[in-house]
Amino acid sequence: MQRDKNLYPLSHQHHNGLMAVLLLKKGLAKHADVVVMGTFILSVWENELRTHFLQEEVQLHPDVLQIPALTQLYHQMKTEHHQIRKIIDDLRNGLLSVETIRLFHQLLEQHIRFEERILFPFIETHIAAEQMAALGKHLEHLESRACSDYPVKFWE
């Protein structure tokens, strides 16, 4: 699907998130070390996801975008962010298991698909061109880092 160029920084990061999901699925299929995969998740979180979530919560707020009808979708996004943050907290607290890794990649994939298939198209059809351009200015600094550059190739 064609994405408005002003949302590219978020979509590029989503692509990287889906790559992380794929690598975790491969790691689980190969019975990779859960400690290594947990460390990988925390690296992805610190290098990109944490900032990504914060930017979405600030920049995509219905009041900021002046789209009151966005409220329900925005709350779904925030709820999913909270669920993923909970897993990050669990990992930091040593609650590490195959189930935790699986839950993380399932929630992250579901979340990215929701934003790309539902949230972003909704925003694109309900926002004025000037607001979209302003949104793009706020997001242009976001960088996408290749999680496949992680030094331990647990997925191979």
pLDDT digit string (tens) for 123-156? Answer: 999 999 999 999 999 999 998 888 888 999 999 9
Total count of domains within the chain: 1
Q: Is residue 91 in some structural domain?
A: yes
Beta-carbon contacts of 30 under 8 Å, excluding residues fewer than 6 positions away, are 154, 155, 156
Q: Is residue 64 in some structural domain?
A: yes
For residue 2, what pLDDT band results from cuts at 50, 70 and 90? confident
Q: Is residue 5 in some structural domain?
A: no
Q: Is residue 57 in some structural domain?
A: yes
Q: Is residue 47 in some structural domain?
A: yes
What are the pLDDT digits (tens) for 65-117?
989 999 999 999 999 999 999 999 999 999 999 999 999 999 999 999 999 99
Q: Is residue 155 in some structural domain?
A: no
User: Residue 141 sits in which domain range?
Assistant: 12-149
Q: Is residue 1 in some structural domain?
A: no
Q: Are 126 and 69 in contact (CB under 8 A)?
A: yes
Q: In terms of Cα–Cα distance, which of 25, 9, 23, 39 is closest to 147?
A: 23
- Residue 54, pLDDT > 90, answer yes
Q: Is residue 154 in some structural domain?
A: no
Q: Are 39 and 89 in contact (CB under 8 A)?
A: no
- Residue 1 has a pLDDT of 62
pTM (2 decimals)?
Answer: 0.93
